[in-house]
A = this chain, B = another copy of it.
Amino acid sequence: MPRSRFSGVLSTPRVDVIIDMGNPFLNLSLDGFLKIGTVGALRVAAEESYDCVRAGSISTHKAEHTLKKMCKEGAYWGTVAGVYVGMEYGVERIRDKRDWKNALIGGAITGALISAASNNNKDKVMVDAITGGAIATAAKFLNYLT
């Protein structure tokens, strides 16, 4: 019987939140969601900070808007990453191999799922699946290179 354990570790310079869901699939997805969600939220924060510096003023209204946008975009990036990581892991388990084709298939499934969830029509879903696969493959290659 799988037990769900919850343990939080937070150290300042290296942000490392460890939450054990008792299942490698869920762990990976959640890890992806949290990490990439943070990156997405920070991107908005950086962009809006630059906006404030440029405009030379900051208002409560603006701060509220930024926070909302951070949550929204963080959740979006996190969802995409969580689905992708889960899918890639699933494909790896099914194919029993570890190569760039996992990224291709995982990216394609992620693109299709996210696109289908956004209520796009069938053609758009296919095109997004192709784009998702291509981006995931490119990212994989780039990280093998360096």
Which residue of B46, B133, B142 contacts A139 across the interface (Cβ within 8 Å)? B142
The contact size tier of chain A is 35 or more
Residue of B nearest to A99 (CB): B14
A145 part of interface (Cβ distance < 8 Å): yes
Beta-carbon contacts of A110-146 to B below 8 Å, as 1s and 0s?
Answer: 0000000000000100110011011001111111011
Q: Footprint of B on A, CB under 8 Å? A: 28, 31-32, 35-36, 39-40, 42-43, 46-47, 50, 54, 77, 81, 84-85, 88-89, 92, 102, 123, 126-127, 130-131, 133-134, 137-143, 145-146
Chain A interface main SS type: helix
Is B123 within 8 A of A32, CB to CB?
no
State the Cβ distance, A23 to closest chain B Cβ, in Å: 15
